[in-house]
Structure 1
Amino acid sequence: MNLFLPEALSDIIFTIGAELLIVLAFLHMLSSRRSPSSMIAWTLAIFLVPYAAVPFYFLFGHRKLVKRYQKLRFQLKPVDDTAPLCDHPVEKLLYANEIPPATPGNRFTICTRPDEAYETFIRQIDRAAESIDICVYEMILDETTRPLLEALKKKAEKGVRVRLLLDSIGSARLYLFSRPLTSLKEAGVEIAFFMPFLHLPLRNFINLRNHRKIYIFDKTTVLTGGMNLSEAYLSPDPRKARYTDLLCRIEGKAAHYYLQIFEMDWAFATRGEVFLPEPVSIAAGSACLQVAPSGPDTPSDGVVEALLNAICNATRSIRIFTPYFVPNEEFVRALTIALHRGVELTIVTPERSDHIVSDLGRGSYLRELASKGAEILLYRGRVLHAKAMIFDNDCAVVGTINFDNRSLFYNFEVVSFLYSRKDIGILADWGEKLIHKSVRYTPAEKPFQIRIENFMRMLSPLV
């Protein structure tokens, strides 16, 4: 008895199966919220290289985790029912997207030096008496993080609840070789990996990564921003740091929203129950800010809408500080219209980032905006990894979100919208220092380079 199918029949079955997968991919695209440029890019890829593009689409093409988040549907609960609105259009738009209003009475400070950030971490760990909750994209075991982990271990041994949530891609080395974490677990530190890519790889979408950096101490103090946990970001010896980054310290009512976000991520990663703690009412300062999550766990693209709204409502100036600048056409059009209205647009990005694909992909966008009058500056120094935006000095955004498609539409992110002028001024002063260390961008002139940049622009929805 011949156990093998005839070659012709095998070819027919394979062809039918491949065509079915192509149809399923198109049906999924039509049923999901996608920009026209994204749909066109995926359609071209599927038509040109179907046997490569279709598997990639099912691995990387998903954007929202609607079904998996039905039980854990993200909805921040207000600290109190009487929290006043700051009466800013951006705040109202976020509120319409189920983001609680801004909370006053917070203290907002920033750390800009690697050694200063390291000392802040050590100090906060040392002061913690009840709990330490950490969610971070990338953690690397090195000379800087070993003392931090040792400090966390000692706190756990003293009865402080310590939780560590790592992204399985960003912290892949520790995910694949977790022996260095054994002593922490034995001391009582709870450790989880977000969407472990070796466990049910088709269920845990590789493209949906937790890019949030949330460090919470005793439920009242938060460190957040662009800094991951490695010597490249924070170090007692600044000479060893690779990046120029920003670490924000927030005390007050706003800390409760970061705690809620952490609890949701922790429950999702551990498949446990969601525990939403009671808010602790603290008045620590004068900062008015609104905490806004973004990503596959949110029912809408509230942060994207808010950024577009801020660009459209700006009347004087827009300043964008980002390591990667690969926006979609909506943002390019909004920024172009702002320039035509006479708004000053300044974009500060690194002279060379740590992702060559992003550097190639940004050229077409920077060239277009520069031709419309935007001031494009390339930061010289350590690689710029900080993320911040300032609109008219009456609204600012700081957090983990980059100005690219992946960060805006795919990653789990979190930002704070600032509405208090004093605190926006702190960010503006920091931004001016970056501007003084930057050089003006010179658009490509060689036809070959322009063609490469234009080609990368076509692929940008897939980057």
Structure 2
Amino acid sequence: MTLEHDSVLLLGYLFALLQGLGLLAALHAVMKVRTAQGALAWAIALVFMPALTLLPYLVFGRNRFDSYVRSRREADVAMQQALQAKDWRPWVEKARTAEMAGEVDRVKAVTRLAHMPLLAHNHVRLLVNGEATFAAIFKAIAGARKVVLVQFFIVHDDELGRRLQQLLLERAAAGVAVYLLFDSVGSHALPKAYTETLRAGGVKVHAFASRRGLRNRYQLNFRNHRKIVVVDGRLGYVGGHNVGDEYLGLKPPLAPWRDTHIEVSGPVLTSLQESFAEDWFWATREVPPLLLAEQYAEDGMLCQLLTSGPADAQETCSLFFVTLINAARRRVWITSPYFVPDEAVLAAMRLAVLRGVEVRVLLPSRPDHRVVYAASNQYAEDAVRAGICIYRYQPGFVHQKVVLVDDDMTAIGSANLDNRSFRLNFEVMLLTIDSALAEQVEQMLLADFEQSLEQTAAGSKVNGLQRLVRRLARLLSPVL
């Protein structure tokens, strides 16, 4: 009887300890989680279900990233010293000339958010789908003479991944300085032999990890979702593709894979290289070589690179989308694999509809992450009721991240319409102001819409269980 009494007493103490830790974690969430919705979701779960949510909160919920903030400041100082020695900024200053144009007032907030200049005299080529994207990237790398900078969220050891590996080894053997940065979680399946082969061949390889320091050792959030390639400071690539056979549409059930990348040349490559350098410095505490082209064209379009991440003082990525939506006078078309917008973005869309702007959102018709897809379905249903046009791409999975505003502005990069891109991931988007490119993007998206079905309120009817699953998934949206 004494043993049984002691066991009950011990269980009581353990329960009280667990409940106390849950309360402390809930208080921490209230104080530290950036958004009210996220703080509320975590706090309620931690108070009422501490046994189930304490460990997930340690892994996913902590929103402190002090180590990265300190490292980024160190990187800024080191990079500025390196850039001054390379006579870097005069090129940037020369390319600022178009900033005084009146049309740029529409995106002035983006420039202030970006902490990078709006630059003229750039050229951009649209790359539709994986074949065009990797043909262009591999051709550029094969012609590299000095420096190759490569960054992807995911690198697979499959046919496409091995093609990249072989190409990087060939360039390194030819005396080119080759750098490869990949995300440690996104590329968790990449075997050690893949990177060891590259290092043995002279390629500098590192994984981006947010677990720097004891306090962050359990932190799996804050993934580096950027996709950047820069060759000799003369050609750059940014968009939605990662390195894997599925991005060529070779893996069912999501095939064919629909994605978009762009090729960039011009002064904006200074910004693209600085973004890579910041991430490389975080991983290695070294600044990679940064190059300027010998000359730039006298004509070309305005480009603004925007990088965002959890260490930003403001909600950079979310505000970027809000700014573009608010700038729309006639239309704003957006494509994203996920549609879990925050209140600010959703409100901007609704207001755009009320002032007569055509708001279209192109989404997948099949899931790659079921919980996110369920939440996305609920948001899409609500959006349709608000007058937002939702289209579901039918042939395969749509993964592109593209924004078209009116007849002159486009944005293409890595950011999705979800909380992870808005607040947890490191993202990159390239904003362009050019009517010719906007027309090309329009034709590309019109072809996508022709292969899509518009979602209607009548067609959104689901049974009670599906409705419950969607509502529960939506509750989790602040922490997805």
Q: What's the TM-score once normalised by structure 1's chain length?
A: 0.90
Q: Partners of 2:263 and 2:416 in 1: how far apart?
A: 19
3-state SS, counterpart of residue 449 of structure 1:
helix
After superposition, residues 21-420 of structure 1 pair within 5 angstroms as 21-32=21-32, 34-63=34-63, 65-73=65-73, 80-82=92-94, 83-84=96-97, 85=99, 87-89=103-105, 91-97=107-113, 99-174=115-190, 177-195=191-209, 202-203=216-217, 205-234=219-248, 242-270=256-284, 272-274=285-287, 277=290, 279-280=292-293, 282-284=295-297, 286-420=300-434
Aligned CA RMSD, in angstroms, stands at: 2.9
Amino acid at match of 1:161: A
Distance 1:130 1:66 in 2: 35
Aligned to 1:431: 445
CA distance in 2, matches of 1:282, 1:48: 63
Give the whole-Å Cα distance in 1 for the aligned partners of 2:327 and 2:460. 28
Residue identity opposite 1:365 in structure 2: Y
More helix by share: 2
Say whether the 8 Å CA contact 1:209–1:412 is kept in structure 2. Answer: yes
**CA–CA distance in 1 between the matches of 2:323 and 2:134?**
36
Displacement of 1:172 in angstroms is 0.7
Q: Is contact 1:115–1:235 with CA below 8 Å preserved after alignment?
A: no
1:422 equivalent to 2:422? Answer: no
Distance (Å, rounded) in 1 between the aligned partners of 2:55 and 2:346: 30
Tell me the distance in 1 between the aligned counterparts of 2:294 and 2:313.
28
Distance change >3 Å, CA 277–CA 12, structure 1 → 2: farther
For 1:111 and 1:267, the matched residues in 2 are separated by 29
How far 1:8 sits from its partner (Å)?
Answer: 7.7
185-194 vs 12-21, which deviates more? 12-21
What residue is the counterpart of 1:454 in the other structure?
Answer: 471
Amino acid at match of 1:41: A
TM superposition shift of 1:320:
0.9
In structure 2, how many angstroms separate the alpha carbons of the residues matched to 1:410 and 1:173?
21
Q: Distance in 2 between matches of 1:413 and 1:247?
A: 14
Shift of 1:369: 1.3
**Percent identity of equivalent pairs:** 25
Distance 1:370 1:304, change over 3 A: same
Residues 391 and 454 of structure 2 are in contact (CA less than 8 Å); yes or no, is this contact kept in structure 1?
yes
From the superposition, tell whether residues 98 and 288 of structure 1 become closer, same or farther in structure 2 (CA, over 3 Å).
closer
In structure 1, runs of 5+ residues without a counterpart are 1-5
Q: Is the 8 A contact 1:72 1:274 kept in 2?
A: no
User: After alignment, is 428-437 or 282-291 more displaced?
Assistant: 282-291
Q: Which stretch shifts more, 416-425 or 272-281? A: 272-281
What is the aligned residue count? 455
CA contact (8 A) 1:59 1:202 kept: no
Secondary structure in structure 2 of the residue aligned to 1:172: coil
Residues 1:278 and 1:110: Cα distance change in structure 2 (over 3 Å)? closer
Measure the CA separation in 2 of the matches of 1:338 and 1:359: 25
- TM-superposed CA distance for 1:30, in Å, is 3.6
**How far apart in 2 are the matches of 1:282 and 1:72?**
30
Measured in 2, the distance between the counterparts of 1:439 and 1:204 equals 42
In 1, the alpha carbon distance for the partners of 2:72 and 2:431 equals 24
Unaligned runs of 5+ in 2: 1-5, 81-88
Partner secondary structure for residue 476 of structure 2: helix
The superposition leaves residues 112-144 of structure 1 with CA deviations (integer Å, 9 ceiling, x where unpaired) of 133222321221111100111111111111122
Partner Cα separation in structure 2 for residue 66 and residue 353 of structure 1: 35
Secondary structure at the counterpart of residue 179 of structure 2: strand
For residues 168 and 387 of structure 2, the distance between their equivalents in structure 1, rounded to whole angstroms, comes to 50
Kindly state the Cα deviation for residue 165 of structure 1 after the two structures are TM-superposed: 0.8
When residues 34 and 236 of structure 1 are mapped into structure 2, their CA distance, relative to the original with a 3 A threshold, is closer
Q: Distance in 2 between matches of 1:166 and 1:214?
A: 10
Shift of 1:89: 4.0
**Alignment deviations for residues 412-451 of structure 1 (CA, whole Å, 9 cap, x no partner):** 1100111222222221221111111111223134333223
**Residues 199 and 63 from structure 1, CA distance in 2 versus in 1: closer, same or farther, beyond 3 angstroms?**
closer
What is the deviation of 1:298? 2.7
| C-alpha distance 374-240 of structure 1, shift in aligned 2 (>3 A) | closer
Q: Tell me, in whole angstroms, the C-alpha distance in 2 between the residues paired with 1:274 and 1:17.
A: 47
Partner SS state of residue 133, structure 1: strand
Contact 2:114–2:305 (Cα < 8 Å) also in 1 = no
